[in-house]
Amino acid sequence: MSPALERTEPRANERLSRNVAFGATVALILLCLAWELWLAPTGRGTLAVKALPLLAAPLGLWRYRMYTYRWVALLIWLYVLEGLVRATSEGGPGQWLALGEVILGVVVFVACTAQIRLRLAAAKPA
């Protein structure tokens, strides 16, 4: 196997960005479910299905799948936008939950983008 194709262990900054992306994604999933089912449900809690697209992400993030980091970095903006809309239109606990969704969404995006940039930089020939 050529040196360029050898799989190496992730560096510390790659592990950090993976752990942050994984943790924030799991926290966002739990926030979405808790928000729509218990904390401040809208209607009958049917908006809890918004967490479904994110359920596929944690396993790919944990396994360093570049494809997962890329699609999560794009998808997460839907959650940020929903949080921004609901933060400005709702009152009470819904507003604070929406702000939490925005913050977690931005953290996921930054961590996924960092992972992608680090891995692409490491893949460049010296």
The model's pLDDT over 73-84, given as tens digits with 9 standing for 90+, comes to 999 999 999 999
Domain boundaries, position 117:
12-121
Alpha-carbon torsion (1, 119, 27, 81), positive or negative:
negative
Amino acid at 88: T
Write down the pLDDT at residue 43. Answer: 78
The answer to whether residue 6 sits within a structural domain is no
pLDDT tens string 34-78: 999 999 888 787 888 999 999 999 999 999 999 999 999 999 999
The pLDDT mean for the chain works out to 91
The answer to whether residue 44 sits within a structural domain is yes
Full DSSP string of 23-81: HHHHHHHHHHHHIIIIIS--TTTGGGGGGGGGGGHHHHHHTT-HHHHHHHHHHHHHHHH
The answer to whether residue 3 sits within a structural domain is no
CA atoms lying within 13 Å on the CB side of residue 37: 10
Write down the pLDDT at residue 21. Answer: 98
Write down the pLDDT at residue 9. Answer: 86
Average pLDDT over residues 106-120: 97
Write down the pLDDT at residue 42. Answer: 80
Enter the pTM of the model. 0.90
The answer to whether residue 4 sits within a structural domain is no
Total domains in the fold of the chain: 1
pLDDT band at 1 (very low <50, low <70, confident <90, very high): very low
